[in-house]
């Protein structure tokens, strides 16, 4: 599987979602833990050894959401 190329509209869409929901990162992480628990565990493991644990996890979760949103948009465009 090839990762989707993020288009110019997807970044601002994710930024808007993030800014409108104070619990955005926690919400995405909870959903990720249900849908993709090994990835959620990996994020926790890899960020847990850093003094910037929260910031690293937040960045990874935002990148995940960017890729996920773009994949959703790409899939919808071929339906």
SS3 letters for 18-48?
HHHCCCHHHHHHHHHHHHCHHHHHHHHHHHC
| pLDDT: which is higher, 77 or 1 | 77
Using CA of residue 42, residue 65, residue 37, residue 29, what is the dihedral sign? positive
Question: For residue 27, what are the domain limits?
Answer: 10-78
Asked if 31 contacts 17 with a C-beta cutoff of 8 angstroms, the reply is no
Instruction: Find the helix or strand (DSSP H, E) in which 4 lies.
Output: none
In-domain check, residue 72 = yes
Predicted structure pTM score: 0.86
Asked if 4 contacts 74 with a C-beta cutoff of 8 angstroms, the reply is yes
Instruction: Find the helix or strand (DSSP H, E) in which 8 lies.
Output: none
Q: Which of 8-12, 31-35, 41-45, 60-64 has the lowest mean pLDDT?
A: 41-45
In-domain check, residue 2 = no
In-domain check, residue 3 = no
In-domain check, residue 47 = yes
- How many structural domains is the chain composed of? 1
pLDDT confidence band for 41 (50 / 70 / 90): very high
In-domain check, residue 32 = yes
């Amino acid at each position: 599987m090839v990762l989707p190329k993020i288009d110019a509209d997807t970044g601002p869409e994710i930024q808007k979602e993030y800014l409108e929901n104070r619990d955005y990162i926690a919400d995405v992480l909870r959903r990720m833990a249900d849908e993709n628990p090994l990835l959620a565990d990996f994020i926790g493991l890899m960020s847990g050894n850093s003094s910037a644990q929260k910031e690293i996890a937040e960045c990874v979760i935002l990148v995940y959401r960017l890729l996920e949103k773009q994949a959703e948009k790409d899939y919808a465009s071929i339906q």
